[in-house]
Structure 1
Amino acid sequence: MLVAEKQELSLPLTPFRDDSPLDLSLENVREVFPITRSRAYLNNASIAPASTLVMSAMDHFMSDVRDNGRNRYPLWCDYAETAIKGRVGAMIGAKASEIAFVKNTTEGLVTVANGLDWRKGDNVLLPDIEYPSNVYCWMKLAKLGVEIRWIKARNGRIELDDIAALMDSRTRLLSLSAVQFSNGFKQDLAAVSELCSKKKVLLNLDAIQWVGNQALNLAEIHVDFLSFGGHKWFLAPIGTGIFYCNEKSIDLLDPPSVGYHTVDRGEAHMDYILDYRPGAARFEEALVNFPGIWGLDAAVRMHLAVTPIAAQEKIASVVSYAAERLQSRGWRIISPRSHPGETSGLLSFTKESLDVEKVAKSMNSAGVDLAVRAGALRISPSFYNDESDIDRMMAALESC
């Protein structure tokens, strides 16, 4: 039976106590994304469309605020801290105590950049094809005498040997995207983690193009810090995100912003003692975005129902189908795809002398959504997409 026909899939009116698994799978998850009825939406690496489950969760939370004001505020806090963070942890292989809610990836990256005790002469390693969020916060450290060492991409790849060649005794941190936004290159996180551990260099990941696209188990690799916004592959509301801080690394960061929620004083508002909350919760300095977090929780439950591994395999299948069809029609694939393990859910492609901006605009008018990145067209199908979306894209490309 299709999900849309099953009324019990709606999240219950009591928003802070629903731990039941969703009756979802790859076979029926498309039904909870209304956009699929009118568009071939292939731009999940930018902003993903909302599902009915996310919308319902946010509506139910706001209904509680409407009817009860702040009376259930302690229950919201407890549920977010335990149940929701617990489910996020289950999805990425982390402990609930290692997770903080943030507004976006940038907030997590800035927390690391502004929270470490930098010394003049320290250096940070960055790929030269990073998204700006993972560049500007490190550039700002120049006033402290911190140097950026740029890892030059080779054919769209960030090679492990090139990372290692730049490391020295003053290399404090490597910060890189787990999946590159422009071409979908997927980093070998286990190899990078092993290198950083061997060299005693902190590892910070921008994981917004990974989580929800690729399965992740942080219990299997050492990552010091990791950030991702909810609005892309995670299929959560805009203005939500996760900052992960490994419990072994938490004392390396001094919270750059502090407030009422940084400490654990309860209702003792005038008991001015700046003692940080245990775990990553200390990085939540004020009231968090509860409506968005309830929507994020619905997205997490959806991912857990489908399972991250099954989602990764479905995405890979759709991307492979797209690559085959594109190449058969003379399109050139930009994304690195020749080496095992380097492909992800992003696929960039082009043709010679093509006005990609014009093509993207024409595609949008035809009901097909993609992006232009680094001078090429880019698609990013999620697990709710299928081959029919690629067929529609190919038909629209033929008419451009």
Structure 2
Amino acid sequence: MHGPFDLEALRAEFPAAQRMLYLDTAHQAPLATSIRAALHRFYDEGHASAGPKPVWLQRVEAVRARLAAFIGAAPEEIAFTKNTSEGLNIAANAIPFVSGDNVLMVHGDHPNNAYAFLNLRRKGVETRFVPLTAGTADIGTFAPHVDARTRAISISHVTFHAGHRFDVEALGRFCRDRGLLLVVDAMQSVGVLPIDVKRMGAAFVAAGCHKGLLVPQGMGFLYVDAALQGLEPAYLAAASLAEPPADFIARPDRMELRHGAGRFEIGNFNLPDLHALSAALDLIERVGVGNIERHVLALGDRLIAALDRLGIRLVGPRDRAQRAHIYVLDLPGEGWLNYLTASDVRVSPERDGIRISFGLFNTAADVDRLVEILARRIAMPERALAAG
């Protein structure tokens, strides 16, 4: 259990958060000084010695073990990927679907989750989109749609577009009881909420590392439950094999796959980002992901109370158990985004309004500053608003 953390010292790690009102971690985390330093050390090694590759590969395995422990997995259950979408596509193609099978997912979830499975139409696999019930997704949402040909449920832990936080652990129990595979997109939750993939009961968990894990874009990971035996990768390289040919001559009679998730890796790693991830885990573990969760929820409490005073509707959930760090304001994106950008506020437009997303470096003062900026525009005369 981590004690309180020094928020001001932590905030000093993120210069971008001091130069602007940065409320956009759900899009991309700003680069922390310690993570930037880890990247520089990697590039300095490459510059000075043309790359100590064996040392770098040893570090890859050390980071794999750390990341595995961070999410409650074993190292052999982790494959490194380029991003969430690659991980979801690997999962979709590894599940042994046959023509006539179906997979369920929430209508309006991230499109790249959907496309990974929609692409299986060519194999006769049906993707069924289930509407949210009462603003959330739970067992009751999916149960009426499960039939004898349902093989999997795919869902985001936290949705990107309104910040819904789904009870994936309950859904995991439901899937286990019915022999279904649960695929979880953890892009918006990893590094923000505590994650234990075994308690989730997930077959696959995919995520990128450039949001809650604070790493520049270009790296992700895929958890594959070790209990799943015989999964076959959609594409193959020497790195996928249990015994890669030492002489680099392919042998059709020696194609046994690596044990575990490593069979889904096909070659060179994003070494700079792996060094960055090591430094990011240092930072996150120093703070404690439980502290991060409590911190962003407290910021959300403060924001929701202020929105109520301003008469601005929150698009997503209000209940603490159903939200995390993402809050979408029911404000027309076009005019408000320009105004907020001009006010040096970094946010994202979303399908239902303006998305505010907190990071571990945000403060109560950030929320208060945002509220002042919102209130100022609300108070503007209509002719001033029309003028832009």
- TM-score normalised per structure 1: 0.89
- Residue 344 of structure 1 aligns to a residue whose secondary structure is coil
Contact 1:127–1:176, Cα closer than 8 Å, also in 2: yes
1:312 and 1:45 mapped to 2: Cα distance? 14
The counterpart of 1:390, out of the listed 354, 357, 367, is 367
Matched letter for residue 237 of structure 2? G
User: Higher mean Cα deviation, 254-263 or 221-230?
Assistant: 254-263
1:209, CA displacement in angstroms? 0.9
Aligned residues: 370
1:25 and 1:148 mapped to 2: Cα distance? 46
Contact 1:240–1:296, Cα closer than 8 Å, also in 2: no
Contact 1:151–1:158, Cα closer than 8 Å, also in 2: no
1:25, CA displacement in angstroms? 4.8
Identity of aligned residues (%): 29
1:143 is aligned to 122
1:159 is aligned to 138
Seen in structure 2, the aligned counterparts of structure 1 residues 90 and 26 have a Cα distance that, compared at 3 Å, is farther
1:315 is aligned to 296
1:357, CA displacement in angstroms? 2.0
Contact 1:155–1:336, Cα closer than 8 Å, also in 2: no
2:212 is aligned to 233
What is the correspondence of 1:222-301 to structure 2 with a 5 Å cutoff? 222-249=201-228, 251-263=229-241, 264-265=243-244, 267-270=246-249, 272=251, 273-301=254-282
- Residue 161 of structure 1 aligns to a residue whose secondary structure is helix
Query: Which structure 2 residue ranges, 5 or more long, are not aligned?
Result: 378-388
Q: Please, what is the CA RMSD of the aligned residues? A: 1.6
The counterpart of 2:325, out of the listed 341, 345, 366, is 345
2:23 and 2:327 mapped to 1: Cα distance? 10
User: Higher mean Cα deviation, 104-113 or 162-171?
Assistant: 162-171
Query: Which structure 1 residue ranges, 5 or more long, are not aligned?
Result: 1-23
- Residue 187 of structure 2 aligns to a residue whose secondary structure is coil
Residues 215-253 of structure 1: CA deviation (Å, up to 9, x unaligned): 11123331100000011122111001111111112x352
The counterpart of 1:192, out of the listed 152, 171, 186, is 171
Contact 1:204–1:226, Cα closer than 8 Å, also in 2: yes
2:69 and 2:162 mapped to 1: Cα distance? 29
Contact 2:233–2:263, Cα closer than 8 Å, also in 1: yes
Contact 2:81–2:219, Cα closer than 8 Å, also in 1: yes
User: Higher mean Cα deviation, 52-61 or 355-364?
Assistant: 355-364
1:297 and 1:279 mapped to 2: Cα distance? 22
2:35 and 2:306 mapped to 1: Cα distance? 33
1:303 is aligned to 284
The counterpart of 2:53, out of the listed 45, 54, 73, is 73
What is the correspondence of 1:33-112 to structure 2 with a 5 Å cutoff? 33-70=14-51, 72-81=52-61, 83-112=62-91
2:200 and 2:234 mapped to 1: Cα distance? 26
